[in-house]
Structure formats: structure tokens, C-alpha cells
Amino acid sequence: MSDPVSALGGVQSHGFATVREIGPSGMIMLRATHDLQGLQSALKVCTGTEIPEKRQILHCNGRSAGWMSPDEYLLILPYGETETALLAIAEHLGRAHHLAVSVSDARAMFRIEGAKADQVLTKLAPVDLQSLRPDELRRTRTAQVAAAFWRLNDGLTLVCYRSVARYVYDLLTISAMEGAQLESASPGT
């Protein structure tokens, strides 16, 4: 088995905020209703957390569980623990209707840090970042790509598809430059 490689090799940039790629990280997309028998114990074993409420992400000892939709959760854990976590989910949920799949190699994760970290995403996402509470997860667009992000300590963590990692990193980097203004091309230009 080869060693995992992050999408962009751990790049980082420094402007009025620091943008850096995190990775590789273990990520599991879990589809299950919140009241599914065994879900609480599966999350407890895999992440150490409770079942997150709507638009919430919970953290415990470097692991996280985030609410993505009424029947979808994102579990984040060390890359090497993904297979063990999938086995634990299967054991705890048994034959109950669910889907658990590793998306570790299909996602990229970034940190935006610094006193003005909010300003980086304010330029890119249709979200009122002033009202974004700690541990509130938002699933939205960043420019024109799907992303999810949340506030953690002195910054924000953002997850996107690996296939658009370079694009998202470049957007974040440009947005973090002093005086940078991003413009959308209008149709026909």
C-alpha cells in the first residue's frame, strides 16, 4: 500500500490570513437517519462524539462528526483509522439501512487562519460569517464549487472535492491578499 498524498502536497500561502492545505485526512460519508438504532454508538466509537444536530460539527481528540443534511454525516479522523472505523460502523449499524463510504481520497481540506480569516470567505461564499458560531457547519458554494466549512479556534476549516482543490486554494489565496477583489465573469464575456 502506498503512502497517502494530499491533493496539493501541503501548500500554504500568507496574506492578511494564512491559507494552508491539511492532509491527508480520513473522511467517511455516512448516510443514516438521526434516529437509526446504533448510530450513536457507531459515532461514539469512531469519533468520540454524540450525533451532531442540524448544521453542527462536534470534535473530540482530533476527530469530528458533522451534520451535512438530515440523513448525512461527515466523519473526520486520522487517515489510517478509516478502514477500522468503517468496520465499526458496519458492526454497530448491522443490517439497518445505511451507507458508509470512505471519501478520504476524494476530498481536500484547507485551514484559513488569522484575525481576518472571515474576510477570506466573505468574498467567496454567500454566508454571513459574522453570525457563524463556533462548531456551526455550513454547506454552501465557495465561488462556484461545493464546499463545507466551520469555525474552529482562530480560523476556519474548509472541505471541498479533491478535483477542484487547486482552484479552491487559488481562490482562497487570492482572496487573502491585501486589496484583492474577486470578480465574476458575466455571461457572454
pLDDT digits (tens, 9 = 90+) for 90-120: 999 999 999 999 999 999 999 999 999 999 9
Is the pLDDT at 2 greater than 70? The verdict is: no
Q: Is residue 4 one of the residues assigned to a domain?
A: no
Q: Which residues pair with 76 in a beta bridge?
A: 27, 64
Q: Which residues contact 66 (CB under 8 A, 6 or more apart)?
A: 52, 56, 57, 58, 73, 74, 75, 76, 137, 148, 150
Q: Is residue 184 one of the residues assigned to a domain?
A: no
For 65, list phi and psi in degrees, rounded to 5: -135, 125
Write out pLDDT tens, residues 135-170.
999 999 999 999 999 998 889 999 999 999 999 999
Is the pLDDT at 182 greater than 90? The verdict is: no
Count of H-run helices and E-run strands, the chain: 4, 11
Print the domain residue range for 138. 12-175
Q: Is residue 5 one of the residues assigned to a domain?
A: no
Q: Is residue 168 one of the residues assigned to a domain?
A: yes
Range 73-86 average pLDDT: 97
Q: Is residue 137 one of the residues assigned to a domain?
A: yes
* pLDDT value, residue 181: 53
Range 161-185 average pLDDT: 83
Total of domains in the chain: 1
* pLDDT value, residue 184: 45
Q: Is residue 61 one of the residues assigned to a domain?
A: yes
Q: Is residue 170 one of the residues assigned to a domain?
A: yes
Q: Is residue 180 one of the residues assigned to a domain?
A: no
Range 49-60 average pLDDT: 97
- Whole-model pTM? 0.90
* pLDDT value, residue 179: 65
Q: What is the mean pLDDT of the chain?
A: 92
Q: Which residues contact 143 (CB under 8 A, 6 or more apart)?
A: 124, 167, 168, 171, 182, 184
* pLDDT value, residue 23: 81
Domain containing residue 72: CATH number: 3.30.1360.120
* pLDDT value, residue 15: 94
Is the pLDDT at 1 greater than 90? The verdict is: no
Range 35-48 average pLDDT: 97
Write out pLDDT tens, residues 118-131.
999 999 999 999 99
H-only helix segments in the chain: 39-47, 82-93, 117-122, 165-175
The larger pLDDT score, comparing residue 70 to residue 186, is at 70
